[in-house]
Amino acid sequence: MTRTFILPLILALIPGAWAKERALFDGKSLQAFEFAPGAWEIEADGSVVCRMQETKDKNGKTRLRGMGYLWTKDEFSDFELSLEYKLSPGANSGIFYRTDKNNPVNGGFEIQLMDNEGFQKKANKVLPARKLNASFYDG
């Protein structure tokens, strides 16, 4: 008798367990996101681009750095992310998820996005495979 009751209950809950697919970017607007003013723009071809700014590193050397993070306005529990990306030569970036806005690098998870060859050449060091493009980091 218990099995008869539980199975219909489980089957009744299953359809609501999966949300409908939702595109965050429609190719025209960044309304689903939060970011610093002027940091992100949409190019004519529909690409989302992070603007760069000159900064000085700890040794006083001038370098270009991305102007900031692109956050979704909504929070998500279970999700599937699909995207295409293109990196600038020597780029070191990432996709952070389930992270703390006050400490995104160490406060969550990251999928590394890196120009492996260009970054290692620019940094003048060889990185282990676990730190290269498509690596997963647990903050």
Range 3-21 average pLDDT: 54
- Segment 119-134 shows an average pLDDT of 95
The DSSP H or E segment spanning 9 is helix 2-17
Confidence of residue 1 (pLDDT cuts 50, 70, 90): very low
Reported pTM: 0.74
DSSP structural state of residue 89: T
Confidence band (pLDDT; 50, 70, 90) for 134?
very high
Contact 73, 95 (CB under 8 A): no
Sign of the C-alpha dihedral, residues 76, 43, 61, 36?
A: negative
Q: Is the pLDDT of residue 4 over 50?
A: no
Contacts of 7 (CB under 8 A, 6+ apart): none
Cβ neighbours for 130, distance < 8 A, ≥ 6 positions apart: none
Average pLDDT, the chain: 85
pLDDT of 107 higher than 80: yes
The first and second tokens of residue 116, run together, are 């492996």
pLDDT band at residue 37 under the 50/70/90 scheme = very high
Q: What is the mean pLDDT of residues 11-16?
A: 50
Q: Give residue-wise pLDDT tens across range 39-75.
A: 999 999 999 999 988 889 889 988 888 888 999 999 9
